[in-house]
Amino acid sequence: MSFEAFQQVLSVAAPLAITLGVVVALLNLRNQYRLRQIDTVMRLYSHFGEDTFVRHFIRVTNWDYDTYDAYLERRTEDDYISLTVVTVFFEGMGLLLKRKLAPIDLIDDLLSGPILLAWPKARPIWVGFRAQYGVPAAAEWFEFLHEAIVQRLAKLEGTQPKAQTGPAFQVTSPGE
């Protein structure tokens, strides 16, 4: 192969190598972004299984406050704390979803059941709170998250999912 032929091959190969390098770099960046999304969701999700969170979640999903007024009449300080802990967790997930920092399919795989259980229990309280205090944004990302999951499930199943309003767990004392 002559020197001129070698130069022609290099003049064609160099831009191809650069283009290939850019494509590989973009694919790696995309993969890194996806991995970072998953890592963010999993770090937040790790709190879901902690004993203290589970106690608050069970409390919220087992109470029977059908209205904001019923909540105001019978609530305890522990009810308020449980509502806040559960809401803050799901608010965080909802905000990550809204900002496209968490993929809906991952949130669905991890939390669709708990979301469908918790929001119907918290909804009457937050709707009443919004009205009483004029704060329409209260628990908005929790509600957004719930609606996104409902829509996703309806799309996947081809039907509207049934409302989940029953208790997540039946808590009984030993010997019952």
Domain coordinates of the chain in residue numbers?
Answer: 48-157
Q: What is the mean pLDDT of the chain?
A: 84
Span 130-159, pLDDT tens digits: 999 999 999 999 999 999 999 999 998 887
Specify the pLDDT at position 113: 93
Tell me the C-alpha distance between 144 and 147, whole Å: 5
pLDDT in tens, 102-123: 889 989 999 999 999 999 999 9
Above 50 in pLDDT, residue 10? yes
The 10 Å Cβ neighbour count of residue 132 is 11
Gyration radius of the chain's alpha carbons: 25
Q: What is the pTM of this model?
A: 0.73
DSSP state letter for 174: T
**What sign has the CA pseudo-torsion 140, 126, 108, 37?**
positive
> Which two tokens mark 39?
């890592």
Euclidean distance between CA atoms 103 and 168, whole angstroms: 25
